[in-house]
Amino acid sequence: MVGTSTANYQKFWNTRNSMKRILIINPNSSEEITRDIQNFARLYVGNEAEVVTVKIEDAPEFIETYQDEAQVGPGMTRSIQKNQEHYDGFLVACHSDPNLDLMKEVSHKPVVGIGESSMHSACLLGDRFTVISATSGSIPNKEALVRRYNLGNQLASVRPLDSVAGTVDKLDLCERVSRDAVDEDGAEVIVLGCADLVGMSFELQERLGLPVVDGIASGLSTLLGFIDQALFISKVKRYGGHV
């Protein structure tokens, strides 16, 4: 009977697209961040997928407040609705996972947020993780997000980059904040809690000797995995929308 099961999967496997198609939605309007994400993502997925990164028109430069989040909701929704047939999955590329419940409701394809993906992954790599966020103003919202995901027991701390004064290089900054997190908060894993830190995890990892989770890389991995498993967002209750 297990043989039958594998045979069932074989059928799925044969009919799926050999080349996956991913749409990355950068909820802000920054050309530069969009380009950085796209460059990194293309490199990361190699020839396993086609990846396109879009920014949201009329979005603010940086998603920080509830108003920013609300403002980009319609644009994000349209990004999914008009691309639903063409893409196999969607990645929301902002670490505060803005409008993620909405995206999951709207989409018939899998949707992953880089916040949820990177923080759930961190839980598998060590006992406690610290999230590096851009500013101290974002700490309460990030902590609220962690509580919503029920990951509070494994959170060592949220540490903002602006807590360290007088350093210029962002990589050096991340390194110092990470070391403080290890020494003072008991962190074992670092999560880069901001999309514009994309690509830094590899260098940081070498400096620190600790696992450092990059949101974009983590989110792409999770999303590609969901596509391979033919998984989708459950439409039974929470994300069922209007039936």
Residues 96-115 that bind a second copy (CB under 8 A): 99, 101-102, 104-106, 110, 112
Q: Which residues in the 41-80 window bind a second copy by CB under 8 A? A: 43-44, 46, 48, 64-67, 69-70, 73-74, 77
Which of the stretches 49-57, 88-96, 150-158, 159-167 binds a second copy when contact is defined by CB under 8 A? Answer: 150-158
Q: Using CB under 8 A, which of 84, 126, 163, 176 touches a second copy?
A: 126
Q: Look at the block and give the residue holding tokens 């063409």.
A: 86
Q: Does 173 bind a second copy (CB under 8 A)?
A: no
Task: Give the nearest distance from C-beta 231 to a second copy in angstroms.
Answer: 5
Task: Give the nearest distance from C-beta 150 to a second copy in angstroms.
Answer: 5
Q: Which residues in the 197-226 window bind a second copy by CB under 8 A? A: 197-203, 205, 209-211, 213-214, 217-218, 221-222, 224-226
Which of the stretches 20-28, 50-58, 84-92, 164-172 binds a second copy when contact is defined by CB under 8 A? Answer: 164-172
Task: Give the nearest distance from C-beta 202 to a second copy in angstroms.
Answer: 5
x-or-dash string of contact with a second copy, 3-42, rule CB under 8 A = xxxx-xxxxxx------------------xx--x--xx--
Give CA 196 to chain center in angstroms: 12
Q: Which residues in the 79-98 window bind a second copy by CB under 8 A? A: none
